[in-house]
Amino acid sequence: MFRDLAHRHRTRSIVGLALALALVLILPAQARAQAGSFIDRVNAKSRDIPSAQRADMVLLPALAKMTDPPASVSVLEDGRPTRAMLIGPGTRGWDEASRWAAESPQQEAIAALDRITQEASFMTSMVMAQPYGINGVPVELVRAGMYTELGDPPLLAMAEFRYLPRMTDLAILAHIEATRRLNAGNPAGALDVLIDLLHLGRMMADREFFEEVSWGYRVMIDSAIRIRDVAFVDYSQASPALTHDQFLEAIGRLDLGRRGFVLVDRLRLPEGDYIAAQQILDRIFGARGEANERFATTMSALTTSDRPLRRFSDAGLWAQLRMVHADGLDSRRALDNVYNDWAQLWTQNDFAPAQKLVREYDRLNPVTHGVLKAVMPELTVFFNERRILRTEVVGTRASLGVLAYKARLRTLPVSLAALRPQILPDTMEVDPFGPIRDARNRPLASELKYLVPRRDLPPDPRLGHQPLPIDVIMLNQRNFGIRVGIDADEFVIWSVGPDSKDDTARRVRENTRALYDGDYLIWPPVISLYREFLQGQGEL
């Protein structure tokens, strides 16, 4: 009997120990599984991309071999490689930057950029499809830092895009390479590398996180600006080198329809940050919505990722906030409302009445919904970025179209309508900032504005012609004024800008990220005018 009791006691002890060990092993496994489910959702879109269509497999190994750009061009202004866009022969730092761009590692990166942008159609274009985290990423790329780190435990909200700085170096390189080709008498090659860069930006705009998509939009917009800049510098020469057919080729690559890679209408809102916020809520709230013991530590780790010395003090603040914060059920509902509000608005046109309403994100209380404010970036920035991008591409196509017309017929067109259908498509490419209804509320589609000052403005009695004075308002730079139209070959193209009012380009701005009075200048390019201004001041 005692032997049976002892046997049963040992059996219970062994079973109890086994269960305890199982719990120790299962709980972390469950945590990893839950984390994995969110990461799997983010990686789902790129999982089925064939290796032959993955641009990251070609580009990132080449970027890993690049050397750092010289200090003269590596400084960014508002995240933009402004110096690399402005610098050229005869300016400080150009020789060093040119030598760097000509070195083998950098030329291999340019070749890789060219290779991944060969397919022009959006439907068959290559894709930046590297998964988030280290799973599925080649070991050599992880060792080189060309991947996205998610931390331990892996949290999407802690994503560190370690490959992005080298991508920015590539953007700097492409601008320098474009200037090198232009200076070597190959402006068509300069346009080609800039369109390649714009194509890469379009790939990045389809990534899943705010930081990556922001990079994509900025690179696309800057590339379009530089494409016009190269064309302007060439057009300013006594004997321009770009031909009618080369302009048509560039216009074709920038096709906004299904034949091109740009396809602005297929741009979507990124979901990665939304899923990342869901993962955080799942981690810091229990099944019944109560905040758990990980609330303060998790949130302080997120908000001090770049300032680790403040983590302890921030944990105390989050511990206090935990007492008054909305519960998990309310937080999840608020998160869904915020993202669904943006997603619904994204499908509407820029002039829809809903665009003027207060957004759900703005309704969030920074105390009771402090977690959402800390984790979820405001995606409304992409609404304006998309509009700017469309304006830039439509304006670049129109500018190149005028130059193509001039190269073939040796005269400037009477209007942009004269470019259709031989150069631009039959359907009008409207001004994205233009009003869609007239004073009587009738549908209205407005084209970009176009003017040849010496031909179209009434002559000045003293000069015999009338140049157009333009005041250029710069973003974080000195303003300046110019007069366009002294020469008969000078023309102006502009958008009416965010206020949708035509001011005949007499007051234009570079900053298009806020409502302002004035127009959005397309041609002559602001960057070209600013370079000439700085050179005239001896500051470049």
- Helix H, strand E, coil C: the string for 414-470 is CCHHHHCCCCCCCCCCECCCCCCECCCCCECCCECEEECHHHHCCCCCCCCCCCEEE
Residue 24 lies inside a defined structural domain of this protein: no
Residue 457 sits in which domain range? 430-540
Round to whole Å and give the CA distance between 335 and 217: 25
CA atoms within a 13 Å half-sphere pointing along the CA-CB vector of 254: 36
505: left (phi over 0), alpha (psi -120 to 50) or beta: left
Q: Do both 302 and 358 map to the same domain?
A: yes
Q: Are residues 224 and 300 in the same domain?
A: no
Domain contains 224: yes
The pLDDT assigned to 440 comes to 59
pLDDT reported for residue 196: 98
Co-location of 249 and 276 in the same domain: no
Assess contact for 207 and 270: CB atoms under 8 A: yes
Question: Is 156 inside any structural domain?
Answer: no
Tell me which of 265, 292, 323 is where a domain ends: 265
Q: Is the dihedral of CA 343, 346, 351, 352 positive or negative?
A: negative
Beta strands in 33-91 (DSSP E): none
Alpha carbon distance 132, 211 (integer Å): 13
**Nearest 5°: phi and psi at 471?**
-95, 120
Residues 307 and 221 in one domain: no
> In residues, how long is the chain?
540
Q: Among 245, 265, 285, give the residue marking a domain's end.
A: 265
Residue 480 lies in a domain: yes
113/182 same-domain check: yes
Say how far apart CA 111 and CA 58 lie, in whole Å: 10
What is the per-residue pLDDT for 501?
A: 87
The domain boundary residue, chosen from 265, 280, 300? 265
Angstrom distance (rounded) from CA 253 to CA 478 = 34
Q: Are 211 and 79 part of one and the same domain? A: yes
Mean pLDDT by 10 residues, the chain (540 residues): 39 38 39 69 91 96 97 87 93 95 98 95 91 95 97 94 97 98 97 98 97 97 97 96 97 90 93 97 94 93 77 82 94 96 88 72 93 94 93 96 97 96 89 73 76 88 78 84 88 91 87 73 94 86
Provide the Cα torsion 118, 121, 124, 128; round to 10°.
Answer: 70
Is residue 408 in a domain? no
- Distance in angstroms (rounded) separating the CA atoms of residues 528 and 225: 9
- Asked if 185 and 56 sit in the same domain, the reply is yes
Q: So what's the pLDDT on residue 435?
A: 76
Helices (H) and strands (E) in the chain, counts: 20, 8
Residue with tokens 């090198």: 180
CA atoms within 13 A on the CB side of 99: 5
Helix 272-284 vs helix 328-346: crossing angle, to nearest 10: 170
Please give the DSSP secondary-structure letter assigned to residue 503.
-
The C-alpha atoms of residue 143 and residue 124 are separated, in whole angstroms, by 31
Q: Is residue 23 part of a domain?
A: no
283 shares a domain with 233: no
Residue 63 lies in a domain: yes
pLDDT attached to residue 284: 96
Q: Is the dihedral of CA 392, 393, 398, 401 positive or negative?
A: positive
The model carries a pTM of 0.90
Looking at the structure, tell me whether residues 198 and 346 fall in a common domain: no
**Cα 218 from Cα 175, distance rounded (Å):** 14
Report pLDDT for 356. 66
**Which one, of 312, 284, 319, 318, lies nearest residue 153 by Cα?**
284
- Say whether both 335 and 464 belong to one domain: no
Handedness of CA 147, 153, 155, 158 (dihedral sign): negative
- What's the total number of domains in the chain? 3
Confidence (pLDDT) at 46: 86
Residue 393 lies in a domain: no
Rounded-to-integer distance, Cα 225 and Cα 316, Å: 47
- Taking the CA atoms of residue 80, residue 86, residue 92 and residue 95 in that order, the dihedral angle to the nearest 10 degrees is 90
Same-domain status, 178 and 259: yes
**CA separation for the pair 302, 372 (Å, rounded):** 12
- Tell me, yes or no, whether 226 and 348 share the same domain: no
